[in-house]
Amino acid sequence: MMKLRISIAVLFVIIFSDFSFASDKPTYEILEADALAGRTAPVLAHHVMVRFKALDKGFYNLKKLPANIDAKILRQALPYKNSSMGSNDLQFKKRVTNQILKTEEPLLRTYVLYYEEDIAPEKYCRKLLAENPSIEIAEPYYLAERMMSPNDPLFSSQGMLLRIMAPDAWNSFQGDTSVVIAISDNGVFQEHEDIRNSIAPNWEEIPDNDRDDDSNGYVDDYRGYNFTSEMDHSDKGDTWHTDNHGTAVAGICGATFNNEIGMVGTAGKCRIFPIKTSPLGENQYILYSYESILYAAARKVKVLNCSWGTQKEFSELHQSYIDYAVANDVAIVASGGNGGGSLVPYYPANYFGVLGVGEVNQYDNVTYSSSMGEAIDIMAQGEDNYYTDNDNATDYENRGFGGTSAAAPVVSGVVAMVRAKFPYLGPIQALEVVRQQTDDIVDENYSWQDIIPGRVNMYKAINCSPYSFPGIRPKGYDLYTESGVKTKRFNPGDKVTMKINAMNHLGAADNLTFKISVLRDYANTVTLIDSVVSGVSVDQSTPFIIEDFSFIMNTWNEERILFRVDIYGDNSYRDFFLLSYQSGTKITNFENDAIIFSVSDRGKLGFGGINDDRQGLGFVLKGYENAIYRAGIIITESDDKSVSSLFGTGPENNDFAIEKQFIEPDMNIGIINDSKAYTQSQIGVRIRQEFIVPDGNWSVAKVKMTVENISGGDLENLAYGYFFDWDLGVDSDYNRVRLFSEATEDIDGAVAAAELAWDPNIDSVPFYAVAAISEEEGAIAQAAGTNYTYTYNFSVADRIETLSSGTSKQLESVDDISMLVGMNFPGTFANGDTKKCDICFGAALTEADLERQIEACLKDDFTGVVVSSFPGGMKMDIGPQPAEEYLNIGFNIPKVSDISIRISDLNGTIVYKLNDIAQQGILSYPVNLAKFQSGVYFVQTVVGSEVLNGKFVVLK
């Protein structure tokens, strides 16, 4: 595996109780994003977020971690005493709704932990999941970044206010001081002349007495709250920062209205409340981003402005923070990202329940810095807005600050006005009103005319009738073949049916028409067939399905294209939304009841995808984490040539071009050739791969490989095989590998060799093996255990030597291990001839079980059921199918002990685990599915050294 490149972006010496563990003055590190490590955004070193399972309600108010977790609790996502369960406030309990109860429960089981072990957070999370059945989710502590970009001045006045018709709006309605906008940012200069009177005090709190007077879990949050006060050596209520980002955001949104000095914020008489999320001196990262969202819920503000975000993967934990805030009546507005026109979404803007804001200049032109696409719901002026500054109490600027950070507070102020005008609207309903009551700026943005949403208009937003129109947003879509099979991969020429899951947040509507069109499809990827769905009626605040659109897949395209769905209704109603689609994915997943793994069309196993990034599931023994870092084909010829899908000379280090993808017909067969390699490196071969995954509980699979000489001449000393870089257990630097000769001892009429990999430090980590077999005359089996993990330390000469050393090359030490298993064919390989070799690979909990399965794979003896040692057979019944609220797992076990149950999702992530529940005779175990999302899950029952697997579907 490629070692993590850890760089320290910021190093502070701090005194802060939330960060104080090993000493009174520890340091903290920010680890930058590292694509090779699978880290898509900066994280905080030695910090992780975990969610415990709901089996033990003691996790709702955990004071001390279980003894086997070598970490310390920093904080609970939602402090128990501030929840409906722990609060003594009877008035608060009366206000609690079912939605609040539903969204607060997972937060009560969520904690931020600190660990001292010197390993990356990703590895520590794997350790937690592997060793602690009580943990449901573990992930690094991701950091967000401010959204600011420098720019030059265009205007010397607040032209933005005229553009959004704020003066016209204020002539009829000026807002309400009871509506508060929380400013989640790096800090606010609270004594600025145009901010100090806009701050809404928390009247239930007594300032500067070091007490939590209102029992909301936060001390001295009277005119603001400082998450980093002990880092800053300042008061909890002091939110000043050396950098003016937060002060600028606060002024754009909430500079005091009608006070005859300075500027005016868009929020009118609505007020603000600062939340400081970054320590002094930290001018890039937001350390307490999602914690500030929970504070906004506790403070009961009506609007939360988040002028920050990051490009990273979706996080279920962070979505739960959003859900909880929305359930507590908080409308969230976020910067859509400064991606420079990128369609890749930023978070939190792309979470459900958040309004993402893109940036235009004072002339309504999209700026060069703004992101676009699905996460951008509305546009607003950001460039050249006037803003308040930190330098002194009378400073105002309209230069040097912009980006979607400056656009988001414009919209937050308008959302506050709408919440003041229409107090009966829920948070998402208010966002929908603002999103739809906008100005069309298509004519000002020719290059974005097909995807640009409207620009905010305050006057329209506060003068509409909110339930006179629907508010329809997509929640996802599914694709189907002509025979009705749901899938993501299609052949050119296939007809595809699309069903869109949608939600109507506002008024009921009849006779709606939905029309789909294709955008940014420069490769002519699809041709629409059925593009109009008419006569649709939707009720108020109701989910529904838009069905059916259809199209023909013309070609494979690796680039993201967009579908635009226009909505037409009575009285000239118009709206639209965007959906992204990537037809050219090069990943296919194979699975049975025991294993699931991904295969790339270009010769990789485990991961691949668009531009050969790490898309895919890896290789997963269900109930355990992915164990593979990367795997792929290596072919050598003569004494100086090698082509590979991992260490190639071609684009993206991959030498192979696709002749047939792993899609229907024969979705288990793929064909590639080495024409992508540089000319001087090409061998001239075609490789046919046929993957075989036996039904049932077999935890091994096979790929039948046939290599054909298409060079036009003879080749010499051809060898090929599969390279596997395993990452097992917590730390891949401490793995072992050896020759697995016992799995091949009984092979007759063929040559075979195998390698075994394991983690010698953790008993709960399975064993993994790869084997090769061939009946070709003169073939020599190859199995090498190595520590080759980098391109630079695995040269062509090394690959040739490794594939010609038989089984003699065996690493004896603990290391970050790899293996190369295949076949060598000495002598001449004539043009047009073929050489065949089968590769078996898999995992099991014991060496004995894995030996048995690898041997059966090599012999093509995939028969029977793997679990067979129980007299009369062991059976497992899972139902109902599909399940909604509860699942019952029943087995017939004559007499055993040490039974464990694991449930994992499609990604191999353990979502439920229970150990040592042995009984005699009939065992029936119910599982509460309240926290399960809709989808497919896998059950693994371990009885002694035997394993039984099953599958079930949750449909809610």
pLDDT digits (tens, 9 = 90+) for 782-818: 999 999 876 567 899 999 999 999 999 999 999 999 9
Q: With contact defined as beta carbons under 8 Å apart, do 151 and 250 qualify?
A: no
Q: What is the pLDDT of residue 25?
A: 33
The larger pLDDT score, comparing residue 620 to residue 615, is at 620
pLDDT digits (tens, 9 = 90+) for 421-451: 999 999 999 999 999 999 999 999 999 999 9
Q: Does residue 610 carry a pLDDT above 60?
A: no
The larger pLDDT score, comparing residue 271 to residue 84, is at 271
Q: How far is CA 96 from the centre of its chain?
A: 31
Task: Please give the model's pTM, rounded to 2 decimal places.
Answer: 0.69
For residues 363-376, average pLDDT? 94
Q: Does residue 130 carry a pLDDT above 50?
A: yes
| pLDDT band at residue 652 under the 50/70/90 scheme | confident
For residues 103-129, average pLDDT? 88
Q: With contact defined as beta carbons under 8 Å apart, do 148 and 406 qualify?
A: yes
Rounded (5°) CA angle 733-739-743: 125
| pLDDT band at residue 701 under the 50/70/90 scheme | very high
pLDDT digits (tens, 9 = 90+) for 569-579: 998 899 999 99
Burial class (CB in 10 A: 0-12, 13-18, 19+), 464: middle
Q: What is the pLDDT of residue 614?
A: 65
Q: What is the pLDDT of residue 156?
A: 33
Residue 163 CA: distances (Å) to CA of 123, 149, 401, 892: 50, 22, 19, 72
The larger pLDDT score, comparing residue 773 to residue 950, is at 773
Q: What is the pLDDT of residue 28?
A: 64
Using CA of residue 552, residue 557, residue 560, residue 561, what is the dihedral sign? negative
d(CA 719, CA 729): 32
d(CA 44, CA 30): 5
| pLDDT band at residue 514 under the 50/70/90 scheme | very high
| pLDDT band at residue 212 under the 50/70/90 scheme | confident
Residue 123's H or E segment, with its range, is helix 121-131
For residues 92-115, average pLDDT? 82
| Helical segments of 350-502, H only | 404-421, 427-436, 458-462
Q: With contact defined as beta carbons under 8 Å apart, do 197 and 256 qualify?
A: yes
Q: What is the pLDDT of residue 151?
A: 30
Sequence letter at residue 533: V
Q: What is the pLDDT of residue 782?
A: 98
Q: With contact defined as beta carbons under 8 Å apart, do 956 and 882 qualify?
A: no
d(CA 384, CA 382): 6
Q: What is the pLDDT of residue 302?
A: 97
Write down the mean pLDDT value for the chain. 85
Structure tokens at 257: 């209205």
Residue 899 CA: distances (Å) to CA of 49, 186, 619, 693: 29, 51, 24, 27
Q: What is the pLDDT of residue 20?
A: 34
Query: In this predicted structure, which of 36-45, 326-335, 819-828, 858-867 has the lowest mean pLDDT?
Result: 858-867
Q: Left if phi > 0, otherwise alpha if psi is -120 to 50, otherwise beta: which for 684? A: left
